[in-house]
Amino acid sequence: MDAIGNSPILEVRNLKKSYGELAVLKDISFSANAGSVISFIGSSGSGKSTLLRCCNLLEIPQGGEIVFKGEAVAWTSKTEERQLSDKKQIIKFRTNLSMVFQSFNLWAHLTVLDNIIEAPVTVLGKDRQTMRDAAYAFLDKVGIADKAESWPSQLSGGQQQRAAIARALAMEPDALLFDEPTSALDPELEQEVVKVIKDLASEGRTMLLVTHDMQLARELSDRVLFLHQGIVEEEGHPDTLFENPRSNRLKQFLSAAAS
C-alpha cells in the first residue's frame, strides 16, 4: 500500500541510546508520514522496542532528535545527560503517539470499560459519560463490546490485547505504536489481534509496528526497517526487502524466520 499523506507525523533523526557501556541504538533515522505503516523487524536485542519507547518518550535517548508534526522534543541540554524539559509537551506527545504494549498493561482494578475511559477523562479532560458511550464504540470496533463490564483477569490474552488497542484508540492519537502486540499470544489468539491491526491499517491509520510476524509486516507495511546491532541494516518496501534482501545478515534473519 502507499502512504495516503505526505506530511510527517513523526521524524527521528540520528537517535542514540545506551545503557551504560551497551549502545542499543547507534544512529537511527526514519520518518513516518500520515497514513503510513512502518514495521521494525530484527532479532532480539537489535533495539526495536527501545526505539519505539524512545519515540513515545518512555526512554530518554542520549543523542539525536524526535520531531512530532514539526515540533522537536525540548531537552534540558545538548549533553548525553539531557532530560525532557517540557511536561506539557511530554503529555502531548504521549497522548498523540498511543502505545500498545506486548504485555497489555491493563489496570487490574478497573473494568474493561473503565480502562478505556480513564486516560481520556483524567488526561484529556473528556466528559465521563460521553467517553462511556465512545468506549463501547471502540470496544465494538475490536470485537469485544460484550466484555465492557468484565475485569481484565476474566479475559483471554487476545481479548486483553484488543482491549488495550481500544484504550489506545480512545485517546484519538495521530499514530499508534505497537510493541510486539502478538508475541505473548498463542497462534489462535494471535489471529484475533492481527485481524484488528489489519482493520486499523485499512482505515489509513498511521502505525509503527515492532513485530516478529514477518507475514504481518509484509502485508501491512509501506516500509520495513531491519535493525541489527543498533543500526538500520536495511530498509525498503516489503516486497523488495523480503524478496531481494541485500545484506547477508538480513538474508540469515529471514531464512531463520521462515524455518
For residue range 153-189, list pLDDT tens digits in order: 999 999 999 999 999 999 999 999 999 998 888 888 8
Q: What are phi and psi of 94, to 5 degrees?
A: -65, -35
pLDDT of 114 > 70? The answer is: yes
Category of 159 on φ-ψ map: left (φ > 0), alpha (ψ -120 to 50) or beta: alpha
CATH 3.40.50.300 fits 8-258, yes or no: yes
Note the helical H segments in the chain. Answer: 48-55, 87-96, 112-122, 128-141, 157-170, 187-202, 214-220, 238-243, 248-258
For position 246, what pLDDT does the model report? 95
Contact 212, 183 (CB under 8 A): yes
**What are the distances in angstroms from CA 84 to CA 54, 59, 67, 222?**
12, 10, 13, 31
**pTM (predicted TM-score):** 0.92
Q: How confident is the model at residue 3 (pLDDT cuts 50, 70, 90)?
A: very low
Contacts of 125 (CB under 8 A, 6+ apart): none
CA-CA-CA-CA dihedral for 190, 59, 62, 172, to nearest 10: 80
For the chain, which residues make up each domain, given as ranges?
A: 8-258
Cα 110 vs. chain centroid, distance in angstroms? 23
Give the whole-angstrom CA distance, residue 32 versus residue 56. 14
Average pLDDT, the chain: 93
Residue 249 is predicted with a pLDDT of 95
Residue 68: strand, helix, or coil: strand
Measured between alpha carbons, how far apart are the two ends of the chain, in Å? 27
Q: Give me 53's grid cell.
A: 519507547
Residue 94 in grid coordinates: 504521549
Return the higher-pLDDT residue of 177 and 3.
Answer: 177
